[in-house]
Amino acid sequence: MGSRFEVSAIDPDPKIAWDGINAAIAEIIRIENLISSWNPESQTSEINRKAGIMPVSVDQELFELIQRAVQISKITDGAFDITYASMDKVWKFDGSMISMPDSNTVRQASSRTDYRKIQLDPGRREVFLKEKGMKIGFGAIGKGYAAQKAKEKMIALGIKNGVVNAAGDLIAWGRDIDNKKIKVGIADPEHKDRILSWLTVDNGAVVTSGDYERFVMFNGVRYAHIIDPRTGYPTTGIKSVSIICSNPELADALSTSVFVLGVKQGLYLINQLDGVECLIVTDENELIGSNRLELNNKS
Ligand code: AMP
Ligand code: MG
């Protein structure tokens, strides 16, 4: 998934802890092979290759992940959209882009971005992208999904306390080594190694989308690596969004969604969702929390 995963297990028996960690790593690799759009062998790549040509029959697991992704597109009014991936030829956040792409190119690519053009046949477990050139990608949801599945493997092996950290998408359960609730630091978007605020995690996930990871600057405007599927342009105005809830997959998808929706609409959505909180850092370094967010400023 192009990201560094860290897996921790706390158990008095080192063998149990290591077995848990190894099972989590194997699970993360298995998921990578299913959902990666970089690996030409993955089912996801096959779906993309057959876009506009024919439906592809996939594993139940991948089918359900796509169904859930489409569901999130619906509740976010299209702000979250796994078909954003057709834009990856237009916007590059690896330093290779030296000028703004022209508006025609953006318009053309964004016409292929539309979750409503993903056709799902549950009976046959078939996925069809209706237009040639369409592509799906799990960059905004896959790490959270993998973290959840890795946790499930560890719990099945008896690991009662652990952390899976997928490049900042984090899930923790149980207690830390001092038998205290696990605390997670939210990084300062300006200085990644500084902690802006602490959150106590009680069997839950904290997932952060941040444009300090990847962005480009044109004419003094900072464009994040998250694309607004409705315009085809990268989002501006927000530096980072952290989502706190029990499900890391949902947290992952929602962190990306709030980036696209912006502060006002993003908070409106999160405040309606039970058990989901968020913390936004704006371009002006303003910290804005959802209604029931409780921050802990001591480490
Ligand atoms: P995250 O760090 O979870 O916010 O994910 C960001 C990644 O999600 C980007 O690098 C893209 O791979 C992908 N992405 C960008 N824009 C969108 C979008 N509007 N909906 C879904 N995925 C997106
Ligand atoms: Mg995300």
Q: How many helices (H) and strands (E) does the chain have?
A: 6, 14
Question: Quick one: which atom of ligand 1 is closest to the CA of 259?
Answer: 4
Nearest atom of ligand 1 to the alpha carbon of 214: 10
Tens of pLDDT, residue by residue, the chain (299 residues): 778 899 999 999 999 999 999 999 999 999 999 999 989 999 999 999 999 999 999 999 999 999 999 999 999 999 999 999 998 888 887 778 888 889 998 998 889 999 999 999 999 999 999 999 999 999 999 999 999 999 999 999 999 999 999 988 899 999 988 888 888 888 787 787 888 888 888 789 999 998 665 777 888 877 778 999 999 998 888 989 999 999 999 999 999 999 999 999 999 999 999 999 999 999 898 999 999 987 766 55
Structure tokens at 124: 């046959």
Quote the ligand 2 centre to 282 CA distance (angstroms): 17
Ligand 1 pocket, CB under 6 A: 80-82, 84, 137, 139-140, 209, 225-227, 229, 252, 255-256, 260
What are the residues whose beta carbon lies below 5 Å from ligand 2 (ion)?
A: 140, 209, 252, 255-256
By C-alpha distance, which of 26, 24, 21 is closest to 11? 21
Ligand 1 atom nearest the C-alpha of 93 is 10
User: Pocket of ligand 1, candidates 73, 84, 236, 242: which has the most ligand atoms within 8 Å of its Cβ, to mutate?
Assistant: 84
Distance 36 CA to ligand 1 centre (A): 14
Instruction: Give the list of residues 6+ apart from residue 287 with CB closer than 8 angstroms, or none.
Output: 196, 197, 279, 280, 281
pLDDT of the residue at 80: 98
pLDDT for position 222 = 75
Of the listed ligands, the closest to the CA of 254 is: 2
pLDDT value of residue 207: 93
Q: Could you tell me the distance, in angstroms and rounded to a whole number, from the CA of residue 298 to the centre of ligand 2?
A: 27
According to the model, what pLDDT value does residue 2 have?
77
Q: What strands lie across the sheet with 56-57, from one edge to the other?
A: 56-57, 126-129, 118-121
Task: State the distance from the centre of ligand 1 to the C-alpha of 160, rounded, in angstroms.
Answer: 32
C-alpha 227 – ligand 2 centre gap (Å): 12
Structure tokens at 166: 């997928």
Residue 79 CA from chain centroid, whole number: 13
pLDDT of 236 = 86
Give the pLDDT of residue 69. Answer: 98
Expressed in angstroms and rounded, the spacing between residue 106 Cα and the centre of ligand 2 is 22
Q: What is the pLDDT of residue 98?
A: 81
- Cβ contacts of residue 157 below 8 Å, gap of 6+? 16, 19, 20, 23
Structural element, H or E, at residue 120: strand 118-121
Site of tokens 């993998």:
146
> Tokens 């092996």 correspond to what residue?
157
- Residues 239-264 as b or e (16 or more Cβ within 10 Å = b): bbbbbbbbbbbbbbbbbbbbbbbbee
Residue nearest to atom 1 of ligand 1 (CA): 140
Ligand 1 atom closest to the Cα of residue 227 is 16
Within 13 A of 22's CA, how many CA atoms are on the CB side?
Answer: 6
CA angle 54, 34, 87 (to 5 degrees): 65
What's residue 190's pLDDT?
Answer: 77
Q: Is 180 exposed, middle or buried (0-12, 13-18, 19+ CB in 10 A)?
A: exposed
Q: What pLDDT was estimated at residue 299?
A: 53
Q: Which of 295, 255, 292, 294 lies closest to 274, judged by CA?
A: 292
What pLDDT shows up at residue 185?
Answer: 84
Can you give the pLDDT at residue 97? 82
Ligand 1 centroid to Cα of residue 139, in Å, is 5
Ramachandran category for residue 167: left, alpha or beta (phi over 0 → left; psi -120 to 50 → alpha): left
